[in-house]
Amino acid sequence: MVSPTATGLLDLKPLHLPIRGGGLDLTAPVVLAPMAGITNAAFRLLCREQGAALFVSEMVTARALIEGNDETLRMITPGVGEHPRSIQLYATTAEDLSRAVEILGRKNLADHIDLNFGCPVPKVTRKGGGSALPYKRRLFASLVDAAVKGASKYQIPVTVKMRVGIDSQYETYLDAGKIAADLGVAWVALHARTAAQLYEGKSDWSKIKNLVEHLAPTGIPVLGNGDIWSGFDAIEMVKTTGCAGVVVGRGCLGRPWLFADLVAAFNGHGVRALPTLFQVKEIIYRHAELLTQYFSSEDRACRDLRKHMAWYLKGFRVERELRAKFGMVSSLLELRQLLDQLV
Phi, psi (deg, nearest 5) at residue 42: -65, -45
> Computed from CA positions of residues 178, 214, 15, 239, in that sequence, does the dihedral angle turn out positive or negative?
positive
Measured between alpha carbons, how far is 307 from 315 in angstroms, rounded to an integer?
16
CB proximity list for 169: less than 8 A, separation 6 or greater: none
- Is 193 labeled as ligand-binding? no
- Is 20 labeled as ligand-binding? no
- Is 36 labeled as ligand-binding? yes
C-alpha torsion angle, residues 218, 188, 252, 306 (rounded to 10): 170
Cβ distance 246 to 229 under 8 Å? no
Cβ distance 253 to 277 under 8 Å? no
If residue 116 lies in a helix (H) or strand (E), which one and from where to where?
strand 112-117
- Is 191 labeled as ligand-binding? yes
Cβ distance 62 to 99 under 8 Å? yes
- Is 161 labeled as ligand-binding? yes
CA 148 to chain centre: 20
Measured between alpha carbons, how far is 281 from 265 in angstroms, rounded to an integer?
24
Instruction: Say which of 119, 243, 252, 302 is annotated catalytic.
Output: 119
Q: Angle 111-45-152 (CA atoms, 0-180°, nearest 5)?
A: 5
Cβ distance 240 to 212 under 8 Å? no
Q: What are the residue ranges of helices labelled H in 76-136?
A: 94-106, 122-125
DSSP 142-186: HHHHHHHHHHHTTT--EEEEEESEEETTEE-HHHHHHHHHHTT-S
Which 8-state DSSP code applies to residue 131? G
- Is 88 labeled as ligand-binding? yes
- Is 249 labeled as ligand-binding? yes
Q: Catalytic residue at 243?
A: no
Residues carrying an active site annotation: 119
